[in-house]
């Protein structure tokens, strides 16, 4: 597997979850990582008390790792909920309340990528109405990201696991990226290329990479089937990462896989220590 040209971070919302949140940054550092990313950690609260934000910030700083990616509030992850920004009513309001909080927290740690999950389709609501609401909220999120020097990431998921999530192809994700950039004129909306989700959707991954690397702001990986560590499934992740590099991608590669029946610290044997240390 070609790894020498990649910068890897570890997602602390799917790895090291056997530990309390505030202990995970130090555990990632002990495993040799210099950078981490997170889903929004407070799944019930888009605007947690400042003391909780400060405690997480201190845990990341004390561990000596860099926060490179953060999700906006997206409901209960993992679980059946997928995003909030296109859900009418309370959830959309919660997303809006979270925008400046998440952007400020990211900025305080030098994080320059904010991910906005789109949101499931809702019974009895016209999809066009949801799409209009989504665009309104994504414009607000893109503006907040721009003010703190960050990109706004748009992620596709996969239909088998998220059957009500509307963005289940690279093309659908790119279309939203284009709509946001057209609406804001900022150009800071980018595609989050998650190779696991795209593989689950049956996409031609080399073709996706060739078409969309230049529009990609972040990459995430897990093997397929199983969403385990590289080498536990059949995806040629080394070849795919090499293809990304040759296509000009030089950003972070987030490790967003399940550790399996073992402690998370033992789930990185495929990755040389020197490839984990980028900050």
| Active-site annotation holder among 37, 91, 155, 203 | 155
Give pLDDT < 70 ranges for the chain.
Answer: 1-4, 78-81
Residue 155 annotated to the active site: yes
Instruction: Tell me what pLDDT residue 271 has.
Output: 95
DSSP per-residue string spanning the chain: ---TT-EEEEETTTSSTTS-GGGHHHHHHHTT-SEEEES-S-TT-SS--HHHHHHHHHHHHHHT-EEEEEEPP-SSTTTT---STTSTTHHHHHHHHHHHHHHHHHHHTT--EEEE------TTS-HHHHHHHHHHHHHHHHHHHHHTT-EEEEE---TTT-TT-S--SHHHHHHHHHHHHHHHS---EEEEEEHHHHHHTT--HHHHHHHHGGGEEEEEE--TTTS-STTSSS--HHHHHHHHHHTT--SEEEE-----SS-GGGTTTTS-GGGT---
Active-site pick, 37, 91, 203, 256: 256
> Does 132 qualify as catalytic in the annotation?
no
Query: According to the model, what pLDDT value does residue 274 have?
Result: 87
Q: Which domains does the chain have, with CATH numbers?
A: 7-268 (3.20.20.150)
| pLDDT confidence of residue 1 | 47
């Amino acid at each position: 597997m070609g790894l020498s040209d990649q910068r890897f971070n570890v997602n602390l919302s799917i790895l090291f979850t056997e530990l309390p949140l505030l202990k995970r940054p130090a555990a990632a550092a002990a495993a040799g990582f210099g950078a981490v990313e997170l889903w929004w950690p407070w799944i019930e609260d888009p605007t947690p008390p400042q003391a909780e934000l400060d405690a997480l910030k201190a845990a990341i700083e004390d561990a000596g790792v860099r926060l490179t990616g953060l999700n906006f509030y997206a409901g209960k992850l993992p679980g059946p909920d997928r995003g909030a920004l296109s859900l009418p009513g309370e959830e959309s309001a919660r997303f809006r309340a979270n925008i400046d909080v998440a952007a400020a927290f990211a900025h305080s740690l030098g994080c320059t990528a904010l991910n906005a999950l789109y949101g499931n389709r809702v019974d009895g609501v016209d999809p066009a109405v949801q799409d209009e609401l989504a665009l309104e909220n994504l414009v607000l999120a893109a503006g907040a990201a721009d003010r703190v020097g960050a990109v706004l990431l748009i992620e596709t998921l996969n239909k088998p696991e998220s059957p009500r999530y509307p963005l289940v192809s690279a093309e659908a994700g790119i279309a939203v990226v284009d709509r946001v950039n057209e609406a804001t004129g900022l150009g800071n909306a980018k595609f989050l290329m998650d190779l696991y989700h795209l593989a689950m959707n049956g996409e031609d991954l080399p073709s996706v990479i060739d078409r969309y690397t230049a529009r990609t702001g972040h990459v995430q990986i897990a093997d397929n089937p199983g969403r385990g560590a590289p080498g536990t499934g059949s995806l040629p992740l080394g070849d795919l990462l090499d293809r990304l590099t040759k296509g000009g991608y030089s950003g972070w590669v987030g490790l967003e896989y399940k550790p399996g029946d073992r402690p998370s610290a033992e789930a990185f044997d495929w990755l040389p220590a020197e490839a984990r240390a980028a900050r």
